[in-house]
Chains A and B, each alone.
Chain A
Amino acid sequence: MINKKLIEKIHEDLEGKLDTAGQQELREQLAHDPEATAYLKDWQKISNAIETAKEQTPQIQFIQEILNKIPMESQAHHKPEPLLRTSFWNKPAFRYSIVFIAGVFLGFLSFSIIMPGSKNSKTPSFQLKGAMYDSRTFDQMTTADVLVFENPMVKASFNVKYSRSVVEARITLSSLYPVQGVLLFDYNSLQVMNVLNVSVNDQSSISASSNFVQINNSGNNQYVVQLINKNSLPHQISIKIMQNEVPIYQNAVTVNKE
């Protein structure tokens, strides 16, 4: 088996890359290695044949044929890479990451705008009917008014707040005898979403229609009324407390004041 390094040296010699000292050294090595000598002779012949084959290869001229086959004008649309990238800012990875971050930011921005509470978005009623709207945001809502009424027979408070999509009234009624509380509003502007007895006894109830909510109260009770705020125009909600069909208190609150 011929030494791999010796073969490497033989080929360097065939390519004329060995200096005089290298050639001398090779000759000495070959003198003791007939197998390597045979290899050298064989490869001299192969190299000559390759050179001959190269010389016999016909010279060709395909320029016009090639140019006729390619749509030259299409190349003008390519934006070539710069010959040298000098700046960190020019690196595609950096540019793509900037675009990605900007995309995520815009996504969050759009989401926060489209979320309930947006002026332009209409809250789909089918998602809200029959379900208690998350009133944990009550504290964050804008206060329309807090009405308090008190006489020897009845104590009442109406805490009304609103956001861009919801109006919520938290009502406390305390009466020894049956009284009715009524909230009246324009159905073009507000729509009943939820009415809830938070803490009531058997003699009390709350019901709703298209333009009013009625409470029949007896004892100490608390109610929550949630209305869909259909637009951002100011609306009035009229509030009455009646006893034996006779109003004993009447007032109004305005939502969407700003």
Chain B
Amino acid sequence: MIAKDDNELVYEVLHGSRSSFEVLIERYQNKIHGMILQMTNDREIAKDLTQDVFIKAYTSLGKFNFKYRFFSWLYRIAINETINHLKSRRHFESLDKVRDIVAEDDTRKGIPEENIRLKDALLGLKDSHRSVLLLKYYFGLSYEEIAETMGLSTAKVKDRLFNARMTLRDKLIGTGFFGHD
């Protein structure tokens, strides 16, 4: 059986199909959850935010424009929800404290040291840099797809990705991540 296209499924959901929305959740839940986990470093929050993303997507589905691809619309919701959450969390906790908690939590669960440093460096990036890196390396999107997701031009995406890569590398150099510093 040929798998249905995302936009076909959206169309069916809009006509009241429950099973079509199940397919969409099944298709994207792991990617969304993984991306949010990378950005927040908190499994409970990642779980809650992932659910919130799908609930928000469902309630806003009537506004979905069929000329775009569903995943870019969904990833944008996911990124916005996550950034909003991080901003509200920063309001209450300093970033250093968050890093300490995360590092402690990861070490306890036997996550390699270099992954902790990578997450730490990602946490220290600007939201726009972190988003573009995650879309590129975690979701594996092309420049054009990132541009569609973030509402930017392809040239702007390339520029932002260049700066984000440089900044991430600079942050990691000071942590002993590469072993040569």
Given contacts A49-B118, A75-B16, A83-B11, contact A62 B55 (CB under 8 A): no
Known A46-B169, A60-B29; further 4 A-B contacts with Cβ < 8 A? A7-B165, A60-B47, A62-B33, A80-B62
Instruction: Check B158 against A62 for contact (C-beta < 8 Å).
Output: no
Interface-lining segment among A37-45, A108-116, A124-132, A237-245: A37-45
Could you say which of A11, A59, A65, A75 contacts B14, with CB atoms under 8 Å apart?
A75
Instruction: Check B158 against A42 for contact (C-beta < 8 Å).
Output: no
Name A's B-contacting residues (CB within 8 A). 4, 7-8, 11, 38-39, 41-43, 45-47, 49-50, 52-54, 56-63, 65-67, 69-70, 72-76, 78-83
Instruction: Check A53 against B119 for contact (C-beta < 8 Å).
Output: yes
A-B contact pairs, 7 of them (CB 8 A): A4-B162, A60-B33, A63-B25, A66-B55, A70-B59, A80-B11, A82-B66
B58 interfacial by beta-carbon distance below 8 Å: yes
- Which residues does chain A contribute within 8 Å of B50, judged by CB atoms? 60, 62
Nearest CB in chain A to that of B169: its residue: A42
Instruction: Check A69 against B51 for contact (C-beta < 8 Å).
Output: yes
Instruction: Check B15 against A80 for contact (C-beta < 8 Å).
Output: yes
Q: In terms of DSSP, what is the predominant structure of the interface of chain A?
A: helix
Could you say which of A7, A69, A72, A81 contacts B66, with CB atoms under 8 Å apart?
A81
In the bound complex, how far is the Cα of B115 from the Cα of A241, in angstroms?
Answer: 116
Instruction: Check A69 against B55 for contact (C-beta < 8 Å).
Output: yes
Q: How far is the CB of A33 from chain B (nearest CB, A)?
A: 16
B22 interfacial by beta-carbon distance below 8 Å: yes
Q: Residues 51-81 of chain B: 1 if any A CB is under 8 Å from the residue's CB, otherwise 0?
A: 1001100110110011000000000000000
Residues of B98-117 whose CB lies within 8 A of A: 111-112, 114-115
Instruction: Check B34 against A54 for contact (C-beta < 8 Å).
Output: yes
Q: In terms of DSSP, what is the predominant structure of the interface of chain B?
A: helix
In the bound complex, how far is the Cα of B58 from the Cα of A181, in angstroms?
Answer: 84
In the bound complex, how far is the Cα of B169 from the Cα of A42, in angstroms?
Answer: 7
B93 interfacial by beta-carbon distance below 8 Å: no
Could you say which of B66, B168, B172, B177 contacts A83, with CB atoms under 8 Å apart?
B66
Could you say which of B15, B47, B119, B177 contacts A76, with CB atoms under 8 Å apart?
B15
- Which residues does chain B contribute within 8 Å of A41, judged by CB atoms? 178
Given contacts A61-B29, A69-B55, contact A75 B61 (CB under 8 A): yes
Instruction: Check B21 against A53 for contact (C-beta < 8 Å).
Output: no
In the bound complex, how far is the Cα of B16 from the Cα of A73, in angstroms?
Answer: 7
Residues of B26-51 whose CB lies within 8 A of A: 26, 29-30, 33-34, 37-38, 43, 47, 50-51
Could you say which of B33, B51, B137 contacts A47, with CB atoms under 8 Å apart?
B137
Q: How far is the CB of A66 from chain B (nearest CB, A)?
A: 5
In the bound complex, how far is the Cα of B109 from the Cα of A58, in angstroms?
Answer: 13
In the bound complex, how far is the Cα of B141 from the Cα of A123, in angstroms?
Answer: 72
- Which residues does chain A contribute within 8 Å of B65, judged by CB atoms? 81
